[in-house]
Amino acid sequence: MRILVAGLLGAIAMFVWTSIAHMATPLANAGFSQMKNESTVLSAMKSGVGDKRGLYFFPWVSPSDPKMMEKAEALMKVNPSGLLIYQPPGASTDMTPMLVKEFAKELAQSLIAAFLLTMTALAGYFRRVGFVTLVGGFAVLGTDVSYWIWYGFPTSFTLAAMTIELVGAFAAGLAIAAALKKPAA
């Protein structure tokens, strides 16, 4: 029960921070740019992708092609390359399901961190906070930095995302460490 309460408190703290970060700081918009001739690009996407939502890598070379690397290198020398997260026209703008999923994700993260913290012998409050923050840092390095390395995510976007996640882990750590006080010996 202690882990559940600590995880819930951690998730609430993380959710409050990420809400503030996305609504009241410039972190949420870091690394984003407007396209030149956006209407032309949107028209091309509608005809080139259509109604299939998804993640697209371009220029595309089939991974089963034995000469994939050579073909991709040749295409990338003369074409732009990147990732496209595509939503067809008519996608929902209702934030409620996204916020519920975000909170559920943060609850899962906080429950894992709380569980891991109970497996340590850390006695001081700030040591426990630091532990939870480092658990968050492990996750940040595993995702945000890899996207920067492999897919060319902008450095400013990557640093902002890392900041949001690390401060979120710290906020969760403050709550989790307070809820999981070590019992007196």
User: What b/e sequence results for 12-35 when a residue is b if at least 16 CB atoms lie within 10 Å of its CB, and e otherwise?
Assistant: bbbbebbeebeeeeebeebeeeee
So what's the pLDDT on residue 183?
Answer: 54
Give which of 109, 98, 122 is closest to 170, Cα–Cα: 109
Q: What is the pLDDT of residue 51?
A: 86
pLDDT of residue 88: 87
Q: What is the pLDDT of residues 95-125, one digit of tens each?
A: 999 999 999 999 999 999 999 999 998 989 9
Round to the nearest angstrom and report the end-to-end CA distance of the chain: 20
Could you say which residues of the chain have pLDDT below 70? 182-185
